[in-house]
């Protein structure tokens, strides 16, 4: 009979690491008994990386892990079979154990990023900061695009990139042709169990030399910059920003990296941060014309005409004649709008501030605030609210640092007035108080603070009286608030509701008409006016308002019923008028 070798070193360690039973030693068996063993007790073939026969030398016996050792101790009492020729290797025969399907271990930093597998958990990533952000971005991009594999070779920045498309601008960087699933034995310890549940046996020549060279190659910051440029051109600005940040970490003295980062921040709407990056690029290289041009464009969009003109001049050939003309036009419009505001010429203020926005100041909070202020003074409240809603939103601290406390206080003052006329009274009071803290010497802001407080108090008192069914007293309270803000649509509607309860339909209609003049889409005021007109049997006016409401709030059953009723009453009224006219003609 032929002698069969004992379990190999690779098999013992693979089974121990995976938590599987140690495979039994294969002794002299007949072909029939070997066949029965295959059918009843399937053998575990180990990781499949090594096929060499185990040596008989005692120096080759591996260190046994605790799980395997405990099983060996439990089986010492089992009978041992020994042949005449196999004298030096005495291994206890383990009892048959059922085969347990190995559980997939948690993904680690060396796991292969298979697109069919879920992304690794956060606890599996050992990196932090910008490197972790970059790694996560690249991993997510690969899984989303469905191309190539990403293999991490260390806890740092040594990676394999496959099928990255035109992200890579460096022609010297080549993709490894070997698929990641065939390179499991090349990642760290070859005895480490694979995260794939049933790995196919890999040939002994799996770790290709080309893959090893790629794994040992550090990414150059210029490569990262070129990859960021590719992402930027494809519209993936967050990915480009992460790549530029990593390039800056590796080489913080390169001005072009900061300039490119500013471009990505600008595309993401983070203009104030982009200004900081451009300034850093110019500090590193004062003659960097492209950074000057980029910074000038940012100042133009932020409404700072003088700074824009200065940096356009510093950009030399990067700036065109049109760039300088736009900056000068912005400077002129801003100057004329300041004069119009001083003279309280709000029509001119609106015109010049709109022209300033058209000249390129499309991200300037002061320009938006001037338009909203002019619209408020012209009693176009809905348009003012739309303008302030579309204005760029910056954090309190960064806005104050960049534009100054006085400029921020002005924007908050206008916002407080817009909040007040649209019924956001608590927000109005809060914004006015912050504006007063930023610019305590402004009399104009102080007057706005007093007015917003008075209106908010009057509205609260009127609401309490209305809930108590004291409609006459509530009318007086709402009137106190209207003395501070005569065109406040919310107070006008509330007073109209009280007057309607008291049967004063004419006065209620007057208040609703005033509210609708400043807020044409104020559905509550229109509904109240339609109801009051119906109470006065003014069916034509009632039908007209109900018809508008059907367009504004389609599907409202109450409005639909009221419209049908008003139409029927109007038709009956018209028929009655015709009969009266016929009788008058016969007489």
Q: Which residue has the higher pLDDT, 574 or 287?
A: 287
Using an 8 Å Cβ cutoff, are 83 and 28 in contact?
Answer: yes
Q: What is the number of other CB atoms lying within 10 angstroms of the CB of residue 585?
A: 7
Note the pLDDT tens digit of each residue in 283-334.
Answer: 999 999 999 999 999 999 999 999 999 999 999 889 898 999 999 999 999 9
- For position 577, what pLDDT does the model report? 66
Using an 8 Å Cβ cutoff, are 93 and 24 in contact?
Answer: yes
Q: Which residue has the higher pLDDT, 494 or 582?
A: 494
β-pairing verdict for 159-161 and 150-152? antiparallel
User: Burial level of 394, CB count in 10 A (0-12/13-18/19+)?
Assistant: buried
When pLDDT is cut at 50, 70 and 90, the band that residue 587 belongs to is low
Calculate mean pLDDT across residues 249-266. Answer: 96
When pLDDT is cut at 50, 70 and 90, the band that residue 86 belongs to is very low
- For position 574, what pLDDT does the model report? 78
159-161 β-sheet, strand order: 112-113, 150-152, 159-161
Note the pLDDT tens digit of each residue in 105-129.
Answer: 444 333 334 433 444 444 333 344 5
Give the C-alpha separation, 310 to 241, whole Å.
Answer: 27
- For position 219, what pLDDT does the model report? 75
52, pLDDT greater than 80: no
* pTM, two decimal places: 0.63
Q: How far is CA 266 from CA 110, 124, 275, 404, in A?
A: 36, 33, 9, 21
- For position 143, what pLDDT does the model report? 63
**Which among 4-18, 35-49, 373-387 has the top mean pLDDT?**
373-387
What average pLDDT does the structure give for the chain? 75
When pLDDT is cut at 50, 70 and 90, the band that residue 268 belongs to is very high
Note the pLDDT tens digit of each residue in 359-391.
Answer: 999 999 999 999 999 999 999 999 999 999 999
- For position 138, what pLDDT does the model report? 56
97, pLDDT greater than 50: no
- For position 586, what pLDDT does the model report? 63
- For position 71, what pLDDT does the model report? 47
- For position 135, what pLDDT does the model report? 62
Calculate mean pLDDT across residues 462-466. Answer: 96
Which domains does the chain show, CATH number per domain?
A: 1-103 (no CATH), 112-218 (no CATH), 222-319 (1.25.40.10)
Calculate mean pLDDT across residues 495-513. Answer: 95
Of all residues in the chain, what percent carry a pLDDT higher than 70?
Answer: 61
Q: Which residue has the higher pLDDT, 437 or 199?
A: 437
Beta bridge partners, 152, equal 159
Q: What is the number of other CB atoms lying within 10 angstroms of the CB of residue 23?
A: 22
Of all residues in the chain, what percent carry a pLDDT higher than 90?
Answer: 55
147, pLDDT greater than 70: no
When pLDDT is cut at 50, 70 and 90, the band that residue 531 belongs to is very high
Burial 431-455 (b: 16+ CB within 10 A, else e): bbbbbbebbeebeebbebbebbbeb
51, pLDDT greater than 70: no
412, pLDDT greater than 50: yes
- For position 470, what pLDDT does the model report? 95
């Amino acid at each position: 009979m032929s002698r069969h070798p004992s379990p190999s070193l690779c098999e013992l360690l693979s089974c121990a690491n995976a938590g599987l039973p140690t495979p039994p030693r294969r002794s002299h068996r007949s072909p029939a008994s070997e066949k029965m063993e295959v059918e009843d007790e399937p053998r575990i073939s180990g990781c499949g990386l090594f096929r060499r026969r185990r040596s008989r030398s005692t120096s080759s016996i591996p260190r046994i892990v605790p799980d395997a050792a405990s099983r060996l101790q439990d089986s010492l009492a089992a009978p041992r079979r020994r042949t005449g020729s196999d004298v030096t290797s005495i291994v206890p025969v383990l009892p048959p154990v059922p085969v347990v399907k190995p559980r997939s271990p948690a993904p680690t930093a060396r796991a292969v990023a298979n697109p069919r597998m879920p992304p690794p958990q956060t606890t599996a990533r050992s990196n932090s900061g910008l490197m972790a952000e970059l790694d996560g971005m690249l991993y997510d991009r690969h899984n989303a695009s469905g191309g190539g594999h990403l293999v991490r070779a260390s806890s740092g920045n040594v990676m394999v990139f496959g099928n990255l498309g035109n992200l890579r601008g460096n022609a010297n960087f080549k993709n490894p042709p070997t698929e990641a699933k065939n390179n499991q034995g090349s990642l760290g310890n070859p005895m480490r169990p694979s995260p794939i549940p049933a790995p196919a046996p890999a040939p002994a020549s799996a770790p290709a030399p080309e893959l090893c060279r790629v794994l040992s190659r550090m990414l150059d910051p210029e490569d990262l910059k070129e990859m960021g440029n590719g992402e930027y051109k494809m519209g993936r600005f967050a990915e480009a920003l992460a790549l530029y940040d990593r390039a800056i970490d590796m080489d913080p003295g390169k001005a072009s990296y900061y300039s490119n980062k500013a471009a990505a921040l600008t595309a993401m709407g983070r203009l104030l941060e982009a200004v900081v990056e451009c300034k850093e690029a110019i500090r590193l290289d004062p003659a960097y014309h492209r950074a000057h041009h980029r910074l000038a464009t940012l100042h133009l969009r932020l409404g700072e005409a003088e700074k824009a003109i200065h940096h356009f001049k510093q950009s030399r050939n990067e700036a065109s004649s049109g760039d300088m003309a736009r900056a000068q036009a912005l400077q002129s419009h801003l100057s004329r709008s300041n004069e119009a505001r001083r003279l309280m010429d709000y029509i001119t203020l609106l015109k010049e501030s709109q022209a300033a926005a058209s000249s390129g100041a499309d991200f300037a909070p002061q320009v938006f605030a001037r338009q909203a202020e002019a619209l408020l003074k012209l009693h176009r409240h809905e348009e003012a609210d739309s303008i302030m809603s579309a204005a760029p939103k910056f954090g309190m601290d960064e806005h104050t640092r960049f534009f100054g406390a006085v400029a921020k206080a002005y924007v908050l003052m206008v916002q407080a007035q817009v909040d007040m006329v649209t019924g956001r009274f608590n927000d109005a009071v809060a914004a006015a108080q912050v504006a007063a803290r930023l610019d305590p010497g402004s009399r104009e802001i102080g007057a706005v603070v007093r007015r917003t407080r008075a209106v908010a108090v009057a509205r609260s008192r009127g609401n309490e009286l209305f809930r108590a069914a004291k409609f006459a007293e509530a009318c007086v309270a709402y009137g106190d608030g209207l003395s501070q803000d005569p065109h406040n649509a919310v107070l006008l509607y509330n007073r109209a509701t009280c007057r309607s309860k008291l049967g004063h339909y004419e006065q209620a209609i007057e208040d609703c008409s005033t509210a609708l003049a400043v807020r044409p889409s104020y559905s509550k005021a229109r509904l109240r006016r339609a109801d009051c007109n119906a109470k006065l049997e003014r069916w034509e006016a009632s039908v007209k308002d109900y018809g508008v409401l059907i367009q504004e709030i389609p599907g409202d059953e109450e409005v639909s019923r009221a419209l049908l009723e008003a139409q029927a009453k109007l038709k009956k009224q018209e028929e009655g008028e015709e009969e009266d006219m016929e009788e008058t003609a016969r007489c």
